[in-house]
Amino acid sequence: AAGDEALRLFADAVQCCLRNQDLGGRLGGEEFAIFLPETPEALALPVAERIRARMAETPLQHDGCEMNVTVSIGVTEAQSKDSLQTLMQRADRALYAAKQAGRNRVMPASQLP
């Protein structure tokens, strides 16, 4: 039940930070993808940071307990040669780099080797 509440908390954070033309959805488990059409990585990073900060600032209330929930976010920009698969793989690499760097952070794919 706490996991379901964490998903709702995340959905609320995302909804507050996106524009009408943006699209977000759950891939499965606790992984999500958010598409910001016509948005370069440099402009997507502040959006991702707002989502991360909102999650870090909003404690999860469950069964009388308060818990902190954090997120790690990988950000990438679509290139003309990208398939959906290569785009998602690059974002996933950035996500795991954010986790390895200590979690609760946003990692741009452009900073990866």
Task: Measure Cα distances from 15 to 10, 23, 34, 85 in Å.
Answer: 9, 10, 11, 25
Rounded distance between C-alpha atoms, residue 26 and residue 112, angstroms: 25
| Active site (catalytic) residues | 30
